Structure 1
Amino acid sequence: MSRPAPRPLVHLLVVAVLAITAAACVRDESQGTSAGPGGGGGDGEGEEIALPDCPVDALDEADGPVEIDLWHGFTGEPANYMVELGRRYNESQDAVRLNVQTQGNSYEEVLRKFVAGIPSRQIPPIVMLEDTTLREVVESGVILPAEACEQADDFETGQLPVVRNYYTSEGVYWPGYTNVSEPVLYYNANQFEAAGLDPTDPPETLDELRTDAEALKESGVESPLSLILNSWFVESWITGAGETVVNKENGREGLADESTFDNPATHEVYEWIDGMADDGLLEAHSATDGQINHYLAVAQKNSAMVIETSTAAVTIKAVLGGESYDAEAGLNVGSLDPEGITPQAGPFPGLEEPGQVRVSGGAFFMTNTVPAEQQAAAWDFMKFMWSAESQTDWHLIGGYLPTTQAAAGDPDVADYWASDLAGQMLRVGYEQLLTVDPERPGPQVGPYTDYTDAIKASLEAMVLEGASPADAIAQADADIQAALDTFIEDNE
């Protein structure tokens, strides 16, 4: 299988940067105040960071309601709830009118449209992008850092430190609001019992996962683990074991310019995947947009385990309940028989211990190229999203993890975790999030899209085309280095 052509996002961003005036720069000393202790740790903590002005009072001077657009790429229930949230916000006040606009069915589609609009400034006041794009959009110069608005408005979110640290770059906290998810292990408790395994004791390491897979295989499960060849999981295994994927402390002490992907942990992970595939313990699936075959393998009982996002708990519950959950994504379950499937979730199995993941999900970014009153309106909506009701509903309806202790302690959330199948599985993701080290929340890579493409291509070369783990890793390392070189050259 050939590697997909690299996306030209880096080059588009270069054009975009040239199109933005110096006033957009977060380090313009003439514009703002210094970031205080609330700016989060990790990058440049303790340094004086000049923040731009956030015109929080501009709404007071607006002539009539200020209209703003929000771009997103949600599908299914999150998309429906995003529309509902916009409706609630519009009804709650009369100063702003929010237009919720779908710009595709994936983060990548939204990012492509957003980047393409930067040179002409045809971008919205709010855009929802994947967490991995943080460094990319920060380098573009068009993002209004939320920390500037927090300071100008004396507003505190109560956000978990690990989440805030993840979204802090160069000492500045950027997104107005975040949706957090984590990879977890889903498994069929019925098949575990049939194999003589304890369904209340899921595997916690890759070695234990292999041992359980062997028992499941012996009991008649065709391919015990259904694994999508996703860079997200590989990255979590590597960084969770204490290794890095790029230099400068995983890109958190400056813009990374060297790949460190070829390291002992990476070799251990690739050799484990390769061995599982060779022994028939793993069914591999390409990480393509709209991929659902890894779900179907478990739903059809050909596999007993699958690693996926914590937000999948809502989908899994719907599918097993016989609902046609998301027809647009192909999740029509009319031909599936949920009989004999009792789903449960466990922490992400690591190389050394469970739950060694990074913060993941998506973020709502505000832009600085729109008029001041629209920037103020965007911030006003961010504050609405931080309300207890909005946070709680994002968890109960959208399936995203609470990012404040206040939301996690809501009585409705407690009841959801105790009595609802999806809630019980989502609780695993939240408890796992609490164990992530705030000082190691995850890497920041400038050309993240090319970086993930390199990892996915190497996994497919190894599992689907027969390349050795060492050769696959070497190729990925070379491709990542090439992407870093290009990004650095284009952003000098």
Structure 2
Amino acid sequence: MHPTRPRPRSTGAPAPSRRHLLGAGLVAAGVPLLGGCFGLGDTTGLVLEQPGGDVPEQFKDRQRVVIWSSYTEHNAEVIQANLDAFHEEQDDIFCEVQIFDSYEGVESKLAASLQARQVPDIAVLSDVIWNRFYLAETLEPLTGYFDDSFGTDSFHDRFLAEGTVKDDIWWIPFGRSTPLFYYNREVFAAAGLPDRAPETYTEYAEWGRELAGFTFEGNEVAMRGYIGGDDWYFQGSIWAFGGAYSDGLTMTLTTDESIAALEYDRAFIHDDNSGYLAADAKGDFVSGACASVLESTGSLSGIKEAATFDFGCGFLPREEGAGVPTGGGGLSIMKYASEQRKQAAWEVIKYLSSGEASVNWTLGSGYVPTTKAAMESPEIAARAAGDPNYQVAIDQLEIAQGPDVARRYVPETLVEAKDAIQSVYSAGENAEDVLIRMEKELEPAIDRVREKYEQRVGE
């Protein structure tokens, strides 16, 4: 088995100056309890205070909007540039971005701030976090804010549907992605492998066995560096094998199909010596330590900048069927902001999701287009024409889907899933035993959210 590989080099952009960095060192001390109302008591007509911050003198007379964002470094600069343009184009609203270090950083601070009776106006929430605040009844329904100038048809239908529950929209798509199959064309060519992504996981395993022990430019190259800190990729492969985390809130981890997906990974790593649990899979790929990696579409720009070799992208492998999970973040308005703040927050969302701002965000961030204006823009068409890998990311959206219910509404699922895949990837534990244990560990968590889920979502 290949050992866990050290990081060969950093692939991140230099850290820019930031307006606020509130999330440094912020670590969630366990999973927030989102089943209640955060000790708010009677919430009828409740309005919570806005977080403090800095308002430049020239904007003192405007309605202030606060966004809590997980976008850092370059992506923070792209958002700020769009907001600077927004501030120039109108004179009623000032929007301040307060930055945290991750989606989990926003989640933890938001849970704490609700208990402290304080709330931002807009929160950037991930695809597996916003649902929990929806269950806790802390998000504003957004359907009624749309009008003829900015309708629901502004967005990619698949993404908008993910933020819709019981015919109301609660989460607006913004920085969305899917995983892609990245491969080193030079290694594949030297090993005699086809210049494409494998069509199936079975074919991927066959190629991995062909590559086992292969050296390129004096270094041994593994087929795949596995990511153990994020179960997003396993969500996709479990679908590809015909399994799922859950059917509604009924867990389905111990079906033959679900077990087969994790057993495949165990055999790929421990029997075939084709893969390994990487400390930094993306870094290993750009350094040439592994010949392929499953990584986000949002990583495409960074990999392109860092890699010194020719690489290609393809759809994720199939097996019994397709298995492509959507991921990334979106924008929600908080229920307990004042009506003036909520209306101003909507104007900010409308601006960021329209016209040039939407195109600038898509091109600058590397995320896939979420609005039809961006999708159909000449700038995006030119990017796709100039980089076939980017077109792959757009095309794969047609077979992508949102996360299983257990991942969306039961916070402990992600914690248990990461433990499960790491046990198999690192220690080679039996896949069936691990998934039986995971399902059993999740029973109390599922029971805790079941009543609220049935009330707010239903089957």
Q: Does 1:203 align with 2:198?
A: yes
After TM superposition, give the deviation of residue 346 of structure 1 in Å: 0.8
After TM superposition, give the deviation of residue 22 of structure 1 in Å: 4.3
The match for 1:306 among 293, 304, 311 is 293
Q: 1:136 matched to which residue of 2?
A: 132
Q: 1:115 matched to which residue of 2?
A: 111
Residue 476 of structure 1 aligns to a residue in which SS?
A: helix
The match for 1:280 among 273, 284, 297 is 273
Counterparts of 1:318-337 in structure 2 under 5 Å?
A: 318-320=305-307
Q: 1:87 matched to which residue of 2?
A: 84
Q: 2:379 matched to which residue of 1?
A: 412
Q: 2:146 matched to which residue of 1?
A: 150
After TM superposition, give the deviation of residue 450 of structure 1 in Å: 1.1
Counterparts of 1:88-237 in structure 2 under 5 Å?
A: 88-102=85-99, 104-150=100-146, 155-199=151-195, 201-217=196-212, 219-220=214-215, 221-229=220-228, 230-237=230-237
- Give the whole-Å Cα distance in 1 for the aligned partners of 2:266 and 2:241: 19
- Give the whole-Å Cα distance in 2 for the aligned partners of 1:488 and 1:18: 22
Counterparts of 1:318-467 in structure 2 under 5 Å?
A: 318-320=305-307, 338=308, 341-354=309-322, 356-419=323-386, 423-436=387-400, 441-445=402-406, 447-467=409-429
- Give the whole-Å Cα distance in 1 for the aligned partners of 2:94 and 2:173: 18
After TM superposition, give the deviation of residue 303 of structure 1 in Å: 0.8
Residue type at the aligned position of 1:174:
W
Residues 189-237 of structure 1: CA deviation (Å, up to 9, x unaligned):
00010011121x2112211111122222254343211110231111122
Residues 115-145 of structure 1: CA deviation (Å, up to 9, x unaligned):
1111233110001011111320101212112
Residue type at the aligned position of 1:89:
F
Distance 1:17 1:85, change over 3 A: farther
CA RMSD of aligned residues (A): 2.5
Residues 337-370 of structure 1: CA deviation (Å, up to 9, x unaligned):
x2xx21211111132355x313211011101211
- Give the whole-Å Cα distance in 2 for the aligned partners of 1:174 and 1:151: 16
- Give the whole-Å Cα distance in 1 for the aligned partners of 2:45 and 2:31: 23
Whether the 8 Å contact between 2:276 and 2:425 is mirrored in structure 1 is no
Q: Does 1:71 align with 2:64?
A: no
The match for 2:302 among 315, 323, 330 is 315
Residue 209 of structure 2 aligns to a residue in which SS?
A: helix
Q: 2:10 matched to which residue of 1?
A: none
Whether the 8 Å contact between 2:221 and 2:290 is mirrored in structure 1 is yes
In percent, how many aligned pairs have the same letter?
21
Between Structure 1 and Structure 2, how many residues are aligned? 408
- Give the whole-Å Cα distance in 1 for the aligned partners of 2:409 and 2:181: 28
Distance 1:463 1:73, change over 3 A: same
- Give the whole-Å Cα distance in 2 for the aligned partners of 1:415 and 1:154: 25
Residue type at the aligned position of 1:400:
Y
Give the TM-score, by structure 2 length.
0.82
- Give the whole-Å Cα distance in 1 for the aligned partners of 2:239 and 2:167: 21
Residue type at the aligned position of 2:318:
G
Distance 1:154 1:490, change over 3 A: closer
Q: Does 1:296 align with 2:283?
A: yes
Distance 1:6 1:404, change over 3 A: closer
Residues 85-113 of structure 1: CA deviation (Å, up to 9, x unaligned):
221211111110000111x2111011100
Q: 1:244 matched to which residue of 2?
A: 244
Residue type at the aligned position of 2:36:
V
Residue 36 of structure 2 aligns to a residue in which SS?
A: helix
After TM superposition, give the deviation of residue 485 of structure 1 in Å: 1.8
Whether the 8 Å contact between 2:103 and 2:126 is mirrored in structure 1 is yes
Residue type at the aligned position of 1:428:
V
- Give the whole-Å Cα distance in 2 for the aligned partners of 1:9 and 1:461: 21
Q: 2:23 matched to which residue of 1?
A: none
Residues 47-73 of structure 1: CA deviation (Å, up to 9, x unaligned):
xxxxxxxxxxxxxxxx95201111111
Residue 95 of structure 2 aligns to a residue in which SS?
A: strand
